[in-house]
Structure 1
């Protein structure tokens, strides 16, 4: 279109793309015509390269590539969680939003970029999610058992990312890194079993549970005894170990079912007497009952021979 000027320098703005003819005339009215091609600037574009979702260490990021446009680019970021920011790019290229740009991550990000010509482009609804932290959990085949008894442990952990390591601490100085190990204890007591898991993002979780280990119950009951004053096998005294001692009871019956002796002391035996008198030789019956450390009621019945 026509645009006249009479200076040696002249700037024309707001031209659209196309070919323009410029005629220059000197003081002698000699003309000179030249053609000028005005190209369309490269379109302003934003490309989403990658989204790093929020991990357990509050790390997150969005990789973008900004291209095209003219001059310095101005950017505006709006987030669904309410944090907004303005940015300036002197040179288009890859750009990375990271955890330092915001106090909080997780939600939607909308980005608008404007160049010096007022051309703009937007990239909306960039979704940043958070990884659910792994949750360690496990079960055991028993939470109360005796010495040297095999205990099976089962990993029940939940996770979004793949678990890559399991670290078991059995509380007795032993550790193991299998997913579902077995273990036993050689000393009685209460032990804290702990499982630490780690997923492929480096996130960890720990779970601990108590297990009670008691002495194994041992009961030996003799079949007879003699009361002949030789100080050998003079009383009927069962040998017991690992029981709840306060729960112990022993009853001795004659052949008619009468109780001739009773005690709640596991260290007290029957000397073959009833009301201070030595009973006749023969067969007698016994009943012994007690609780195991895991509160199980045990009972033993049988016969013994009294020999004078």
Structure 2
């Protein structure tokens, strides 16, 4: 294989600076390229602000010597065929015959600049100022007003009116008119922020200086930058002020009032209780001018002086509050899930084996029917108590007793029930005579059974002296009124009676005796 390799010489950037033609001495210099690059090369000339007064040929210039108070240099580097030369830098090397200057070259929004030029030797010249905004002046020392913000290149050309020789100088960005900044920053007074807020001056540039002041808020530690801050809002409202300096132009101060959501809490008198549960809620306001509204069971209840809620059912319950500040209009909610626990109430219940007992057998057994309880307290209403589950108690006196059972759960929830028991005397009152036509009602009938006799399995028989059955009854309420079974009045005389019955507690009794029927 064959291939061709091309080699190029490295270009040089050599040039000369000489005095040029004699008549223009002191006005301009002659700059000529003297290197090895061809005219097709890429030449990068920098005349250091000196004006090119004439282009004589390719890379052959007549250049002004500049102004007295500047020190101009001519610089060149060359590129050809992708090869780069070194950079050559030479002074113009002539003492300028004039000086140019200006006062107050920087301003804000608009600016009036007083330009100044002076010949160092007397000569007949024409001054030509170019102010960079499309306007010019032939005055030697003009004043010019810049109405807009920008950077302006200013040039001065001096022409000898006799010889036509020219000199001059051009200063890039000599006049700089900056816009006055607007200190707007990212905080919205209509938003209700949390406890912290990030603010930023979004138009910051390298030269920006931000002067922040904070009232009722403070900076959050060593974070942020000159133009971006993180703040803690200490009170319901905070005042933020920003003033910006850019290139010596100061903005008017910008004030913004920011607001945060209210600070609050709530507390309850307890976190658990027994069914039914009465809960007291106390609002805790950490800011002024707050209105509380309670959130319960999907409903809202304005907070008042007595904030109580009843919970008839057991379980864990969630409660919350919505709060609004009348000062800022900001609101927030706080919900405490499963905040308190309502424990189920036990069911106290029991049965005595004999609600009514006789004084012959005054011992009663109580059956406990309670639910969800683990401990019990019995009060037998006669001064005696017990903690047994299913107690037995013997009463010493006749009377009515309201027996109390208090059932208690493992969470100390209680329920009580009362059952009245009676202790009655067992009396078989047996009169020895009766008269059906007596003026006293109680003496008109005969029944030997009294208190304590049950109605079940009752039998009462009357016999005459010959053993004939005269009367029979199977109900203690059906007494003998002196009439025989055939419906005729029984004759006056002595009769034998026999009774068989069970008392109210199931004990059997078989009393018997005699009774006198009086006519």
TM-score, normalised to structure 1, is 0.50
The structure number with the bigger radius of gyration is: 2
User: Which of 1 and 2 has higher RCO (CA within 8 Å, sep 6+)?
Assistant: 1
TM-score, normalised to structure 2, is 0.34
